[in-house]
Amino acid sequence: MKYVQLAFLLTLGILCLNAADDLEIRWVSVYQDESRNLATVDPGSKIKIMCLIKGGEAPFTIYREDKRLGQTTKRTIRVAVRAKSENGSYPVNISVTDAGQRKSITTAYYHVGEQPKPEEPAEPEDTGTLLLSGSPDDDDDWGDDDEDEEDVVDEYLEKGTTVYPWTDYQNRTIMNTMLPSAVAIGDGNWYYRILHVARERIDDEPLTNFIGLDDSVKIGFQVAYGFTENSDLLFQRTNGRALQVNFNRADPTKMDYYDFIFRYQFLKQRNGSFADAAIHVGPTIMDRNFSSAEQSMNAGIIFERNVMKDRLRLGLGVAYASLSTYENTIGKGPATKLTPDEYDALTAIGAPVPDEEDEHTLAIPLMFKYALSKKQQIFGEIIVPIDGYETTAGPSMLMGYRINGNTHEYSVYLSNTGNPSYNGTITGGHDYDQINLFGFTISAFF
Amino acid sequence: MIKLLGAICCVCLSLTALSAADGKYLHLTLDVVKGSGDDPMFVIFLENKKGFVKTLYWFSRDDKWFEDLTLWEKKRKKAGYKTWKDEPGIDAVIGPTIAWGKSKSCKIPIQQGKINILDGTYRMRIEQRKDKGGHYKNFKLPLKTTFKGGTLENNGYIKKIEIKVKEASKTKDVVKK
């Protein structure tokens, strides 16, 4: 009988709620002894908030809370009628959902109808709570001007995520030196990067060739734009190699790389996921003198996770290029990998060509980043080719130092590959145990 | 001797009068939450029902980002100050940035020229912003004639704000680190 009564009352309550949808303003009063953030309240603790709730179907949205909590941010709550009415009010259960987990449950009284009149405010004291405009106890009508806008809430604050001074900088690298990271740039944001990496080893002529940067430098210009909070498009142009595949031409034949990478971030660690994770896909177009081109279809998935209080960020993934490439470091390492187009051109003029190589490469990228301080990091990246073409001289490797500014990011590094294009970085390095190519990047966020 | 005593009394009275002229001030202590990345900026300004009146305090010396506080920027421009440097006396109210998890104080004179900020016609606004982070604009504190200060917790990047009404002559208040 009890259950029948409860079911009846539940239905009645829901009906009452539905009937009350016509009302534009409703109030929920919840009481708590001390001022705390609602999202971090332990189950069972008493809270006190005065909420103005918009009508409509659950979940309702609180857009104004009591002065004691001092929050004017949006929160989504679920409201359900649980028992019979008491004195014109409906006891309800309120659960606050934070990062997909129910953080607090408490009973509140759901008043249908007019806003309950607050108690007469006591004379403010030195140690009292500051009474903000718009709070239920404020009797001063400022007519809240038209210039008022919604607050833009801080995700970390909103979700109650623990952060450290270096967390933001650990998470904001959207492009690791060789491959994209697992973090999208964010809606409407722009990113620019210029990368220089020498093809001359620093131990050849460290002083006279300015640690390899005087000549034979690979330069990557990159720009990225965030279309949504979780998706962006990265474009990078890298100068390619000069191959004499057509001896009848007076000008050298040049090939440049154009990377187009679409990325979608589908996991965020700060939202409670195990790690940040993103997939990326897109072509690298290898253009020769704007007359002929070949393309590689690239795809990958990257996972990155902060550990040790966000000090250490570790990354792991898979990267694939349907037509990989490799350009030899000057004077050392495996020979340049020819593309089918180059084979054809060289064969046509009777030039000697090496045995044809596998066209694709599948690799495992690994990375780490360690925060030395709020803005400084050391980082390392390794990409191990596991299938298809590889240089047979070990994985691509680099290690470097990065410093972050307000809008810029600067890094210097040593590497064993001078191939910055997507399908060139994953094929391996020029040597197992030497990282002697100097490179640097300058990035800007807007 | 009587003349001397009279002179001393006059001097004392003059000094007392000077102290009274200093008047009261608001002692504001702002505790910032623990956070990450660039430190947040805070601007405290005064407005009445007609709009922006004056900037009371700035917690950021990085003036190239001042314009990112768009509410203050918009209201200030509407009041006739094209750039932030156009507002008289603003240099005097710019203090250091408050780092995450730290606290700083400032003092705001109640009588500022012809403006008595506690005459019941003003309210204090605080705008808070972090680059590529939150932007909180809706801190509005009516400054009534009966205002005696108080505290507030958890408002945007403010972990706790405490405002006390103090006598200027009794304490030496400077921005503390």
Domain ranges of chain A: 2-158, 164-445
Task: Name which of B37, B51, B135 is nearest A168 (Cβ-Cβ).
Answer: B37
State the average pLDDT over residues A56-72. Answer: 36
Min Cα–Cα distance to chain A from B16, Å: 26
Min Cα–Cα distance to chain B from A131, Å: 7
Min Cα–Cα distance to chain B from A69, Å: 6
Q: Report the share of chain A in percent with pLDDT over 90.
A: 32
**Predicted confidence band at A144 (pLDDT cuts at 50, 70, 90)?**
low
Tokens matching residue A99: 């990062």
Alpha-carbon distance of B177 to B175, in angstroms, equals 7
Alpha-carbon distance of A225 to B163, in angstroms, equals 44
Q: Does A86 touch chain B (CB under 8 A)?
A: no
pLDDT tens, residue by residue, A164-186: 888 888 888 899 999 999 999 98
Cβ within 8 Å, pair A157-B34 = no
CA neighbours closer than 13 Å in the CB half-sphere of residue A234:
31
Instruction: Report how far apart, in Å, the C-alpha atoms of B45 and of each of A409, B14, B130 are.
Output: 34, 33, 18
For residue A331, is pLDDT > 70?
Answer: no
Cβ within 8 Å, pair B36-A147 = no
Least trusted range by pLDDT, from A125-139, A382-396, B68-82: A125-139
Instruction: Note the Cα A15 to chain centre separation in Å.
Output: 43
Cβ within 8 Å, pair A157-B138 = no
**Predicted confidence band at A134 (pLDDT cuts at 50, 70, 90)?**
low
| CATH architecture type of domain A164-445 | Beta Barrel (2.40)
Mutation site, A132, A153, A183, A407, interface B, largest B CB count within 10 A = A132
**Most confident among A159-163, A282-286, B1-5, B128-132 (mean pLDDT):** A282-286
For residue A92, is pLDDT > 80?
Answer: no
State the average pLDDT over residues B166-176. Answer: 55
**Res B5: pLDDT:** 55
Task: Name which of B123, B134, B147 is nearest A154 (Cβ-Cβ).
Answer: B134
B23-167 — its CATH code? Answer: 2.60.40
Which residues are CB-neighbours of A224 under 8 A, at least 6 positions away?
A174, A175, A185, A190, A191, A192, A232, A233, A234, A235
Mutation site, B138, B141, B148, interface A, largest A CB count within 10 A = B138
Mutation site, B129, B153, B159, interface A, largest A CB count within 10 A = B153
Q: Does A334 touch chain B (CB under 8 A)?
A: no
Min Cα–Cα distance to chain B from A226, Å: 13
Cβ within 8 Å, pair A164-B157 = no
State the average pLDDT over residues B6-34. Answer: 63
CA dihedral B66, B72, B74, B76 (to 10 degrees): -100
CA dihedral A161, A162, A167, A172 (to 10 degrees): 0
**Res A67: pLDDT:** 35
**Predicted confidence band at A91 (pLDDT cuts at 50, 70, 90)?**
very low
CB A275 within 8 A of CB A267: yes
DSSP A306-348: EETTTTEEEEEEEEEESS--B-PBTTBSSPPBPPHHHHHHHHH
**Predicted confidence band at A158 (pLDDT cuts at 50, 70, 90)?**
confident
